[in-house]
Amino acid sequence: MTTLGAAVATGFYSLEAAGQTLDSLTLITEDYPPFNFEKNGRRQGIAVDLLMEMLDLSGSKRSREDIRIWPWARGYETALKEKDIVLFSTTRTEPRENLFKWVGPIMPSRIVLVAKKKNGIQLDSVEELGRAGYRIGVVREDVGEKLLDKVDRVRDKVVLLNSGISVAKMLQAGRIDMWAYDIQVAMWNLKELGYDPAEYEEVFTLAETHSYYFALSKKTDDKFVFMLQSALDQIKAKGRFNEIVARYRKS
């Protein structure tokens, strides 16, 4: 068995064995709390803290300041075209499966339609969206947009924006009827903006079978993928992953 094969089989792969460095990776994320965001000038969140521990465990010198916080569509397109990109947190779906290499999972995702309770919106099926003509806010290239792409007569009612914060503001102002997004992230954003999350509700679940991952561009060396996955597995085995998650659930 080759050195690489042996490393994969045992679930551990060191930088010394690779003879390379993870410091060549470009780290890209978006404002997507509680998974990844910036507050008081500090990059933080479940996925940020996790990635920093993964890199540290692997001998990397990268810091939080090395993480680029970009609009999701820009980061997504960059990860599709360039090599050695780590894009997170990325929902791993079937259409995306062969577009990236994957490290994870981080946590499950649940993509829903959020609306104001006072509007009394009720949906028994996603097909009703097209018939009712609801205006739905999404973030460009986000999984919410991709899920709605499949629904007849919905595309022309979808409002594309660059960030969750922008969508939340439009929902609060009544300029859209619903927001297709991860429920945790949607509620976090509403609260951060000073809106009362209790005034909002889930009206329909679009998907709950996917999880968030670190997506690496296809041209990234498999050695880096194996290294990061090994570090993540070690962190989970030691119980550190649950500690990181608990940190943000208390916030």
Q: Tell me the pLDDT tens digit for each residue of 5-64.
A: 444 444 444 444 444 689 999 999 999 999 999 999 999 999 999 999 999 999 999 999
Length of the chain in residues, anyone? Answer: 251
Predicted pLDDT of residue 249: 82
Decide: 181 and 142 in contact? Cβ < 8 Å.
yes
pLDDT: which is higher, 151 or 65: 65
Predicted pLDDT of residue 147: 94
In this prediction, residues 113-124 reach a mean pLDDT of 96
Please, which residues have CB within 8 angstroms of residue 29's CB and are 6 or more apart in sequence?
Answer: 36, 43, 47, 48, 67, 68, 69, 70, 75, 87, 88, 89
Reported as a pLDDT band with limits 50, 70 and 90, residue 201 is: very high
Predicted pLDDT of residue 15: 43
In this prediction, residues 228-251 reach a mean pLDDT of 92
Average pLDDT, the chain: 91
Predicted pLDDT of residue 7: 46
Reported as a pLDDT band with limits 50, 70 and 90, residue 156 is: confident
In this prediction, residues 120-144 reach a mean pLDDT of 92
| Burial tier of 201 (Cβ tally within 10 Å: 0-12, 13-18, 19+) | middle
Angle at 110 between CA 231 and CA 144, to 5 degrees: 105
204 has a pLDDT exceeding 50: yes
Predicted pLDDT of residue 10: 45
